[in-house]
Amino acid sequence: MDSLVTVLQTLAEGKVAISNEQVKVYRDSFTEYKKDKLIMVKDLEAKWILAVGDGVLYESLTGETLKGYGKRCALSHENRLVLNQYFPYTVPQAFGTEIATMGLGDRLGLASPGHIETIKPYRVKPILAQQSIRELTLTNRSMIDILDAAAFAVFQEGYKDGYGADGDHIKLEKDIEYALSLGISFLTLDCSDQIRNDLETISVSDIEGEYEKLPAATRDYYYETYFNKQFDVNGLEIDYDKVDVIKNALLYGEALDYTEHVYKTYIQNAEKQIDFEISIDETETITSPAAHFFVANELIRRGVNVTSLAPRFCGEFQKGIDYIGDITQFEKELKAHAIISQYFGYKLSIHSGSDKFSVFPSIGEHTNGLLHIKTAGTNWLEAVRVIAAINPELYRRMHVHALEHFEETLQYYHITPNLDTIAPLEEQTDELLPAYMNHDAARQLFHVTYGILLTAKNDQGKFLFKDAFFQTLNENEDAYRQALVKHIGKHLELLGL
Ligand code: ZN
């Protein structure tokens, strides 16, 4: 037994190669349960957990017994569940409304260690697993893969301050049920299917006609509650004329019913605390402060407690680039949205929040640092930047393929890059390739083609880029980590968290 512990201790110092292979040891992962000891290591084949001991934890982990010194445990789903059982810090948890949270979706399953290092000095909790159904489909990954990768990252980093897992932009009840059964701690309910998109284009008399179809009691309720009423929301005045009442009722009525149903069926009865976010952002209709107040006020009346709410802000929050629009108007509305959120006691949520550097300072200021902000693809762009710097040949092939297939992505993403502004690849020296990731159109080109690039295969069924891409990143973990610390760190710095 002593010799096993010695091996483990030596491993923790990063000095030992097993079976003559070079082994990288993740010292921060070292952990004990009674007399069993675990540490994460990586050899030429894979990352795995070395377990030493003879107790219940050791016995529970599945793996190949290594003669003389322990067990080689794969980063499998079943071993993740064992870690969850013995080490509560590896289980996703809810954070409520008293501290900021940041969604850090990790499309590759490689970014979380860098994300953890980034957020450590800030007043924010990481939601490490956050993947929309769209992203899962485009990358051929499952929700289980995402949750496993997050838990192993937390274990690897020895990060014990808690993390969350978001079932992101879920619309259907069957998906809600499934995500909750897997242990998510955060649910983002996407109500866009319940929000009407036709009201901006039809006439007032047609809108009134639609309203007449609602039950009389419902119409009376909305009139009595909102028509010609003044609401003082911590100094912000909100009122509604007749058309406002009708429009809000028609726009959000069904979404409110659905949210109430989901809350009372799934969130209130969940086995553990769940951060519940309602998103009304993925619609054509900009959420005015009055509409936001209407939705929030109705949620409270129905006994629905949300942790955060994502309005659709004015201007554009396109993926991977800075805010587009009138910053003065944005700040004015943001301030109102923040006041309303604070009044009702939940956090304002900012979606597509990566790279919005010009508006981060005002977001931080008006929310008093209590917000939820989602980022996703920006860590993929940082991975591409690392590839451009370290493996220029691979980058060049990906760049060409992305340009050829860009059109196909427009069915999933609303972005408007001018691809003509991207400097011709053949004129760039290798040293200049990483600079593409500073160029808006090139960023967006890569931002939306991730699924195509990571799943592209040649005629023999071999991946065109995926294997080389992962190999380069795996061999250069520290470069990727540093890139994330720099880029995501800039977000947190400007948000003032
Ligand atoms: Zn959204």
How many angstroms separate the alpha carbon of residue 356 from the centre of ligand 1? 15
Q: Name the catalytic one among 36, 135, 148, 277.
A: 277
Helix (H), strand (E) at residue 39: strand 36-42
- Where does the pLDDT of residue 202 fall: very low under 50, low under 70, confident under 90, or very high at 90 and above? confident
Q: What is the pLDDT of residue 410?
A: 83
Q: What is the pLDDT of residue 285?
A: 85
CA distance to 124, 180, 193, 307, 434, per residue, from 188 (Å)? 18, 11, 14, 10, 34
Q: What is the percentage of the chain residues whose pLDDT exceeds 70?
A: 95
Calpha distance 399→393 (Å, rounded):
10
Q: Are 322 and 357 in contact (CB under 8 A)?
A: yes
Q: What is the pLDDT of residue 18?
A: 47
Q: What is the pTM of this model?
A: 0.92
Reduced to 3 states, what is the DSSP secondary structure of residue 369?
coil
Assess whether 277 carries a catalytic annotation.
Answer: yes
Q: What is the pLDDT of residue 291?
A: 96
- The answer to whether residue 15 scores a pLDDT higher than 60 is no
Q: What is the pLDDT of residue 19?
A: 38
Encoded tokens for 186? 């955060």
SS3 content of the chain, % helix, strand, coil (to 5): 50, 20, 30
How many angstroms separate the alpha carbon of residue 274 from the centre of ligand 1? 18
The string of pLDDT tens digits covering residues 97-128 is: 999 999 999 988 999 999 999 999 999 999 99
Q: What angle do CA 325, 331, 334 make, to 5 degrees?
A: 105
Q: What is the pLDDT of residue 2?
A: 40
Residues in CB range of 317: below 8 A, 6 or more apart = 323, 350, 351, 352, 353, 356
How many angstroms separate the alpha carbon of residue 281 from the centre of ligand 1? 5
- The answer to whether residue 139 scores a pLDDT higher than 80 is no
Whole-number average pLDDT of the chain: 92
How many angstroms separate the alpha carbon of residue 319 from the centre of ligand 1? 11
How many angstroms separate the alpha carbon of residue 186 from the centre of ligand 1? 14
- The answer to whether residue 199 scores a pLDDT higher than 50 is yes
The region of weakest confidence among 269-273, 279-283, 461-465 is 279-283
The string of pLDDT tens digits covering residues 208-225 is: 999 999 999 999 999 999
Q: What is the pLDDT of residue 89?
A: 98
Q: Name the catalytic one among 36, 135, 168, 298.
A: 168
C-alpha 225: how far from its chain's center? Answer: 37
Reduced to 3 states, what is the DSSP secondary structure of residue 101?
strand
Strand segments, DSSP code E, in 105-253 are 124-132, 164-170, 186-190, 230-233, 236-239
- State mean pLDDT over 385-410: 95
> What is the β-pairing status of strands 47-52 and 36-42?
antiparallel
The string of pLDDT tens digits covering residues 285-343 is: 899 999 999 999 999 999 999 999 999 999 999 888 999 999 999 999 999 999 999 99
Q: Are 106 and 115 in contact (CB under 8 A)?
A: yes
Calpha distance 436→421 (Å, rounded):
11
Assess whether 275 carries a catalytic annotation.
Answer: no
Q: What is the pLDDT of residue 8?
A: 56
The string of pLDDT tens digits covering residues 46-68 is: 899 999 888 999 999 999 988 76
Q: What is the percentage of the chain residues whose pLDDT exceeds 90?
A: 79
The string of pLDDT tens digits covering residues 172-183 is: 999 999 999 999
- State mean pLDDT over 67-79: 89
